[in-house]
């Protein structure tokens, strides 16, 4: 078969197509060095090799993907590619609706959404020629208490860098897939850090855009005040390609922003000279500090920004993380309960413990308390936004530790609860997790960057500049590595 | 069982019944009463705004359209 010959030649050259970034795969497709079908076959080969270990997928439709890849092959041959995502295999978290491919939210609870609905962001990606491979593992309904109880039908996703470790959540399968190359990129959803946290745990770029920038039409809601879908990708360039494709006004989402989107790709490599970077070394002065490897990554990042010509000033956030969490938690729980009330009342026996325990509190929160939290939210948004009058970009921790062992539930809960996703989920500012190398035990390190409202272009520019210093050659976990960690862990 | 827990258990039962559902019983009822107490504590910790014109941030973010 021609595809096998192509894959064999690339393997001889030391390049498994499934290991490529989106940008590099796209360039090779455009140059005729690989066909979309061969790229898809390489992704299927990765799935066959490692998905029984990392559990990134809940379901897929290989025939449909092959059909779309064949159409991309033709466009590539004719010189009529639709753009840089044409022929690129991707997958979406299983709380994103896709006609023809069931959406369960990772739950046993029967779902009643329109089976013909496809999320706007999927429609936009497919219109750009990207090839949907399947639906990715997730915490049930994309939410929970942060604990992993191993009580859902699908086993939880595992971290490809060490399968005995947690992927972060709730976009568990999205991070596992991109880190392992079972998809070249993925779309997750971020309510309190659920794109950025798994991206950090698995060594990826994870973007939470400005609230309202990426349509939630066709996305199972979790908390409509905070929900923001977003890409998980190998590099900032990949993230820019994806963001520029899916961002923009959508009449189907009542909170969609109508303000024009500034594309992130054109200025991505313009550098950071003259930018003012606020360095938040520790979100919680006087409290727990990030572990040494993460502190080192943060210091190295600050030094790199200064070396590249940015002005770096150390600052503290004006608001303690506990203040954000105290306001975000009742909003999140009340809205989740409102969304899933009938499921909770009628089918909670089918739910996993983590979702059920999260929804429990929603049953008993007072409406006045929920609305008081939403009034406080307005004040916190304004106070958070004041930071961006002082600096262009914030550099701060995403997590305080590396991904813990998945069977250590207290550590898993602490890892999630102690992450720094909540401030920008509550405020709506754009923020991303950026890989920062590996810890001595071989687990990914990450830092977080944030910027002013609708300033994704600036955020991505800063991220790209820092990436060239921290991880100029981002990698996916090789199948041999994944399987060897599984063997060591006895998985 | 304390008076507080008993009162909250009764409130839990009333709430479920008012929803047209069967109220939890036994250990599940006790756990629900504990959750109810925690939910009330969470609510009490939310600062109140004295300015009555200061509205909750709900729906589309017009502040982001500017």
The answer to whether residues A255 and B61 touch, using CB atoms and an 8 Å cutoff, is yes
The residues, any chain, with a CB within 8 Å of residue A473's CB and separated by 6 or more, are: none
CA distance B8 to chain A (A): 11
Cα–Cα nearest to A319, from A389, A423, A432: A423
The CA distances from residue A491 to A52, A74, A178, A485, B20, in Å, are 10, 42, 21, 9, 46
Q: Does A117 touch chain B (CB under 8 A)?
A: no
The answer to whether residues A187 and A227 touch, using CB atoms and an 8 Å cutoff, is no
pLDDT value of position A1: 40
Residue A379 has pLDDT above 70, yes or no: yes
A214 chain-B contacts, CB cut-off 8 A: none
The residues, any chain, with a CB within 8 Å of residue A339's CB and separated by 6 or more, are: A221, A222, A223, A224
Verify whether the Cβ–Cβ distance B61 to A257 is below 8 Å. yes
Quote the CA–CA distance of A454 and A243 in Å, as a whole number.
12
Catalytic residues of A: 93, 170, 194
Where would I find the H helices in A31-61? 36-54
pLDDT in tens, A429-476: 999 999 999 999 999 999 999 999 999 999 999 999 999 999 999 999
CA distance A170 to chain B (A): 23
Facing B35 at nearest CB: one of A329, A364, A378: A364
pLDDT in tens, A180-198: 999 999 999 999 999 999 9
Cα–Cα nearest to A55, from A486, A490, A487: A486
Cα–Cα nearest to A334, from B4, B11, B29, B58: B58
Q: What is the DSSP letter of A388?
A: H
pLDDT in tens, A282-329: 787 777 789 999 999 999 999 999 999 999 999 988 788 778 989 999
What is the three-state SS of B17-51?
HHCCCCCCCHHHHHHHHHHHHHHHHHHHCCCCCCC
Q: Does A373 touch chain B (CB under 8 A)?
A: yes
Asked whether residue B5 is domain-assigned, the answer is yes
Cα–Cα nearest to A457, from A243, A254, A302: A243
pLDDT value of position B1: 58
Query: What percent of chain A has pLDDT above 90?
Result: 90
Q: Got the DSSP string for A115-179? A: TT---HHHHHHHHTT-EEEEEE--SGGG--SS---S-SSSPPP--TT-TTB---SSSHHHHHHHH
pLDDT in tens, A248-295: 999 999 999 999 999 999 999 999 999 999 999 878 777 778 999 999
Region B10-36: what's the mean pLDDT? 94
The answer to whether residues A190 and A427 touch, using CB atoms and an 8 Å cutoff, is no
Give the 3-state secondary structure of residue A205.
Answer: strand
Verify whether the Cβ–Cβ distance A212 to B61 is below 8 Å. yes
Quote the CA–CA distance of A43 and A180 in Å, as a whole number.
10
Cα–Cα nearest to A224, from A191, A259, A258: A191
Please tell me which residue of chain B has the smallest CA distance to A323. B46
Quote the CA–CA distance of A138 and A24 in Å, as a whole number.
28
Q: Does A363 touch chain B (CB under 8 A)?
A: yes
Verify whether the Cβ–Cβ distance A257 to B54 is below 8 Å. no
pLDDT in tens, A149-187: 999 999 999 999 999 999 999 999 999 999 999 999 999
Facing B57 at nearest CB: one of A256, A257, A374: A374
Query: Do strands A431-438 and A393-397 pair parallel, antiparallel, or not at all (unpaired)?
Result: unpaired
Greater confidence, B6 or B48?
Answer: B48
Give the 3-state secondary structure of residue B63.
Answer: helix
Verify whether the Cβ–Cβ distance A376 to B47 is below 8 Å. yes
Q: Does A448 touch chain B (CB under 8 A)?
A: no
Query: Do strands A276-279 and A311-314 pair parallel, antiparallel, or not at all (unpaired)?
Result: parallel
Under the banding of pLDDT at 50, 70 and 90, the label for residue B6 is confident
pLDDT in tens, A20-73: 999 999 999 999 999 999 999 999 999 999 999 999 999 999 999 999 999 999
Give the 3-state secondary structure of residue A267.
Answer: coil
Residue A247 has pLDDT above 80, yes or no: yes
Verify whether the Cβ–Cβ distance B35 to A259 is below 8 Å. no
For chain B, the straight-line distance linking the first and the last C-alpha, in angstroms and rounded, comes to: 55
Best residue of A209, A364, A386, A388 to probe chain B, by most B CBs closer than 10 Å: A364
Residue position matching structure tokens 């921290």: A470
How large is the ipTM?
0.94
Rg from Cα positions in chain A: 21
Facing B45 at nearest CB: one of A258, A326, A453: A326
Best residue of A340, A375, A452 to probe chain B, by most B CBs closer than 10 Å: A375
Verify whether the Cβ–Cβ distance A372 to B57 is below 8 Å. no
pLDDT value of position A436: 98
pLDDT value of position A244: 98
Asked whether residue B12 is domain-assigned, the answer is yes
Asked whether residue B60 is domain-assigned, the answer is no
Please tell me which residue of chain A has the smallest CA distance to B29. A360
Q: Does A339 touch chain B (CB under 8 A)?
A: no
In chain A, % helix, strand, coil (3-state, to 5) comes to 45, 15, 40
How many domains does chain B divide into?
1
Under the banding of pLDDT at 50, 70 and 90, the label for residue A4 is low
Best residue of B22, B37, B55, B64 to probe chain A, by most A CBs closer than 10 Å: B64
Query: How many A-B residue pairs are in contact by the CB < 8 A criterion?
Result: 92
Burial class (CB in 10 A: 0-12, 13-18, 19+), A199: buried
Query: What percent of chain A has pLDDT above 70?
Result: 97
Q: Does A426 touch chain B (CB under 8 A)?
A: no
Residue A205 has pLDDT above 90, yes or no: yes
Domain topology for A2-489: Amidase signature (AS) enzymes (3.90.1300)
The answer to whether residues A144 and A251 touch, using CB atoms and an 8 Å cutoff, is no
Please tell me which residue of chain B has the smallest CA distance to A374. B56
Please tell me which residue of chain B has the smallest CA distance to A452. B64
Q: What is the DSSP letter of A281?
A: S
Query: Do strands A131-136 and A89-93 pair parallel, antiparallel, or not at all (unpaired)?
Result: parallel
Q: Does A77 touch chain B (CB under 8 A)?
A: no
Pull the structure tokens for residue A458.
């600036």
The answer to whether residues A248 and A257 touch, using CB atoms and an 8 Å cutoff, is no
Asked whether residue B27 is domain-assigned, the answer is yes
Query: Do strands A131-136 and A57-60 pair parallel, antiparallel, or not at all (unpaired)?
Result: antiparallel
pLDDT in tens, A74-127: 999 999 999 999 999 999 999 999 999 999 999 999 998 888 999 999 999 999
CA distance B61 to chain A (A): 7
The residues, any chain, with a CB within 8 Å of residue A67's CB and separated by 6 or more, are: none
Report chain B residues touching chain A, CB-CB < 8 A.
12, 15, 19, 21, 31-32, 35-36, 38-40, 42-49, 54-61, 63-65
pLDDT value of position A13: 46
Where would I find the H helices in A285-366? 292-307, 321-347, 353-364
List the helix and strand counts (H, then E) for chain A: 16, 11
The answer to whether residues A319 and A394 touch, using CB atoms and an 8 Å cutoff, is no
Range of the domain at B21: 1-44
Residue A5 has pLDDT above 60, yes or no: no
Verify whether the Cβ–Cβ distance B55 to A378 is below 8 Å. yes
pLDDT value of position A98: 97
């Amino acid at each position: 078969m021609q595809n096998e010959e192509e894959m064999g030649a690339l393997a001889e050259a030391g390049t498994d197509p499934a290991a490529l970034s989106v940008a590099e795969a796209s360039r090779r497709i455009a140059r005729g060095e690989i066909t979309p079908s061969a790229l898809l076959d390489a992704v299927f080969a990765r799935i066959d090799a490692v998905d029984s270990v990392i559990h990134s997928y809940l379901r897929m439709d290989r025939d449909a993907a092959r059909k779309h890849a064949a159409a991309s092959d033709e466009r590539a041959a004719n010189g009529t590619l639709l753009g840089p995502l044409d022929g690129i295999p991707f997958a979406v978290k299983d709380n994103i609706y896709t006609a023809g491919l069931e959406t369960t939210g990772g739950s046993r609870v029967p779902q009643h959404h329109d089976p013909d609905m496809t999320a706007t962001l999927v429609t936009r990606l497919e219109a750009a020629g990207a090839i949907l491979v399947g639906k990715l593992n997730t915490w049930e309904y994309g939410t929970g208490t942060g604990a992993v109880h191993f009580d859902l039908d699908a086993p939880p996703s595992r971290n490809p860098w060490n399968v005995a470790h947690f992927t972060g959540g709730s976009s568990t399968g999205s991070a596992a897939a991109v880190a392992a190359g079972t998809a070249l990129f993925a779309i997750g959803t971020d309510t309190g850090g659920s794109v950025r946290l798994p991206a950090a745990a698995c060594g990826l770029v994870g973007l939470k855009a400005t609230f309202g920038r990426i349509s939630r039409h066709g996305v199972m809601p979790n908390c409509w005040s905070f929900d923001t879908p977003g890409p998980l990708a190998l590099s900032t360039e990949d993230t820019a390609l994806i963001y520029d494709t899916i961002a923009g006004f959508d009449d189907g989402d009542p909170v969609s922003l109508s303000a024009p989107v500034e594309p992130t790709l054109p200025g991505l490599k313009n550098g950071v000279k003259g930018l003012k970077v606020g360095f938040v070394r520790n979100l919680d002065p006087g409290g727990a500090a990030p572990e040494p490897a993460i502190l080192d990554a943060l210091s190295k990042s600050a030094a790199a920004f200064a070396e590249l010509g940015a002005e770096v000033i150390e600052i503290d956030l004006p608001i303690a993380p506990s203040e954000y969490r105290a306001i975000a938690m009742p909003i999140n729980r009340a809205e989740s309960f409102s969304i899933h009330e009938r499921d909770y009342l009628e089918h909670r026996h089918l739910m996993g413990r983590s979702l059920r325990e999260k929804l429990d509190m929603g049953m008993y929160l007072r409406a006045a308390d929920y609305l008081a939290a939403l009034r406080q939210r307005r004040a916190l948004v304004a106070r958070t936004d004041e930071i961006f009058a002082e600096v262009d970009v914030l550099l701060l921790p995403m997590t305080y530790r590396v991904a813990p062992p998945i069977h250590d539930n207290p550590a898993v809960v602490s890892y999630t609860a102690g992450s720094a996703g909540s401030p920008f989920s509550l405020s709506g500012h754009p923020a991303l997790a950026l890989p920062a190398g590996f810890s001595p035990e071989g687990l990914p390190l990450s830092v977080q960057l944030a910027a002013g409202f609708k300033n994704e272009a600036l955020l991505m520019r800063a991220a790209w500049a820092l990436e060239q210093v921290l991880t100029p050659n981002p990698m996916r976990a090789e199948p041999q590595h994944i399987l060897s960690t599984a063997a060591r862990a006895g998985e | 069982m304390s008076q507080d827990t008993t009162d909250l258990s009764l409130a839990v039962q009333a709430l479920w019944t008012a929803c047209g559902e069967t109220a939890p019983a036994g250990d599940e009822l006790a756990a629900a009463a504990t959750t109810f107490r925690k939910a009330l504590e969470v609510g009490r910790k939310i600062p109140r705004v004295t300015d009555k014109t200061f509205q909750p941030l709900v729906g589309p973010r017009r502040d982001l359209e500017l």
